[in-house]
Amino acid sequence: MKKLDKLILKSYLGPLGLTFSISMFVLLLQFLWAKIVVLVGKGLDAFTIFKLLCYACATLVPMALPLSILLASIMTMGNFGERYELVSMKSAGISLWRILRPLIIVSFLLSIVAFYFSNNIMPDANMKVKLMVYEIKTKKPALNIRPNEFYYDINSYVIRIGAKAKDGKSLKNIIIYDHSKDQGNISVTKSDSGLMYSTDNGNTLIFRLFSGESFNESIEGGDYFKRPLTRIDFKEQVIRFDVSDFSIQKVDKDRYKTDFRVLNLSQLRTNMNALNNENKLFNQSIINNIYLNSNPFPKSNQNNNITYNFYNDYKNLSLENKQTVDKVSKLISNQNSSDYVYLQSKNKVDSELIRRHEIEFYRKFTLSAACFILFFIGAPLGAIIRKGGLGLPVVVSIIAFIIYYMIGTLGEMSARSGSISTLFGMWLSSLIFLPIGLFLTLKATSDAKMFSGEIWIRKINILLNKIKEITKSKK
């Protein structure tokens, strides 16, 4: 039996690794497509892009793992059925549950790995991705000075070059306009040739100019036409520009520390308790305020030396006091109405934030449960279909996963809007697919030919014959 377990595991782990790689590649392409606007034109180095992709892959593992388990289980059992190995095992007295036992153990272990990823690694990876995306988004476009174009991205300077060598350093016909005094083109430097390079880890851009001249116009004179102009010829001149804002500026790590997507289970539970307590205290304070404002006039009013009960003795008040009571009561009524509207608005925001925390709390369990449930969808389907390879199994698994994902998304959106409870919404797809998986497993153990074309054609013919008999009897 140990050799059989090794054969089954070897047949399963190969497709699992292949399908996991394909799933990660597809999901990573989706991530890059969503962030393409942020990444393009920023002049990012290969190491920064590599780090971003690694962090993104860590966030995609819990999503790619259930799909790869579903696809690999269909392929493995389909290969066994197509090569009649499944029939040979059953003819030797080995039940389907015994055949699936090593795969069940592996799927259970992978579910634990998925839970560990979603609770410990994915929050930190989400934090790193958010920080890097924000740093890249706020970074200036790459420093790219092209020939015969005016370059404006360096603060207070405009640069134009006539030609650039293939090495990217040697330049010709250089013109630099200095607008640091915000007085127009009063300072201009021209050069026949020069070199452009960066120092200080790319934070300083240096232009080494040769055979040029500088023009400086004084703005101290009152008459525009009589201002002095200074011209200086030079053989070599060095101009430095501070371009530190073109590099990625590190962001404080605490920027996203309260985001529910970067928290683990214990942090989510702590935040939910704090939000619930804060919401209860706020509601109690508003309700107390409305209650106190409801009777603004106490039984004894010492300021006006008037003694009366607002609810019982209103008729005994003078006309002037009645007008005063009416004005104050109207003001208090408006204040209570505004307090009630604010209470509703605050409760709506707090409830949505609490539901988002609850959704992330349950997601860490549902993603790992999906690995186990989808295995019991894929393995019996492969045993029933008895087709291996990347043809029919891929189509069936993708359709099953899309349905599972759509139901899960529908449940999550309903839970987010408050239409249903977050517990039911996040477990909706699992609750639907679990009985389906058990049903398929029972059918596979009884060798039911659910997807046999001959059986379905026979059933359709029987149904058509019955319809014909009914129509004949009616005529």
Q: What is the pLDDT of residue 307?
A: 42
**pLDDT tops 60 at residue 296:** no
The pLDDT tens digits for 78-88 are: 888 778 777 78
Report how far apart, in Å, the C-alpha atoms of 85 and of each of 53, 82, 132, 441, 451 are: 41, 8, 50, 18, 19
Report how far apart, in Å, the C-alpha atoms of 100 and of each of 86, 143, 407 are: 11, 59, 27
pLDDT band for position 308 (50/70/90)? very low
The pLDDT tens digits for 412-450 are: 888 888 888 888 988 998 899 888 888 888 877 776 665
Report the alpha-carbon distance of residue 323 to residue 326 in Å, rounded: 5
Residue range 223-232: mean pLDDT, rounded: 71
Report the alpha-carbon distance of residue 349 to residue 339 in Å, rounded: 15
**pLDDT tops 70 at residue 263:** yes
Residue range 340-349: mean pLDDT, rounded: 73
Q: What is the pLDDT of residue 302?
A: 43
Q: What is the pLDDT of residue 311?
A: 46
Q: CA angle, 449 as apex, 67 and 92 as ends, to 5°?
A: 90
Report the alpha-carbon distance of residue 205 to residue 280 in Å, rounded: 57
Report the alpha-carbon distance of residue 165 to residue 3 in Å, rounded: 66
Contact 111, 415 (CB under 8 A): no
pLDDT band for position 294 (50/70/90)? low
First vs last C-alpha separation in the chain: 64
Question: 4-8, 249-253, 386-390, 460-464: which range is least confident on average?
Answer: 249-253
Secondary structure of residue 313 in the 3-state scheme: coil
For residue 132, how far is the Cα from the chain centroid? Answer: 13
Contact 177, 190 (CB under 8 A): no
Phi, psi of 252 (to 5 degrees): -60, 135
Report the alpha-carbon distance of residue 35 to residue 246 in Å, rounded: 19
The pLDDT tens digits for 236-248 are: 888 888 776 666 5
pLDDT band for position 169 (50/70/90)? confident
Q: What is the pLDDT of residue 390?
A: 64
Neighbouring residues of 211: CB distance < 8 A, sequence distance ≥ 6: 191, 192, 193, 234, 235
The pair of three-digit structure tokens given for residue 262, joined into one six-digit string: 């970067």
Residue range 53-80: mean pLDDT, rounded: 85
**pLDDT tops 60 at residue 394:** yes
**pLDDT tops 60 at residue 370:** yes
Contact 227, 87 (CB under 8 A): no
pLDDT band for position 32 (50/70/90)? confident
Q: What is the pLDDT of residue 1?
A: 56
Report the alpha-carbon distance of residue 15 to residue 23 in Å, rounded: 12
pLDDT band for position 299 (50/70/90)? very low
User: Higher model confidence: residue 226 or residue 416?
Assistant: 416
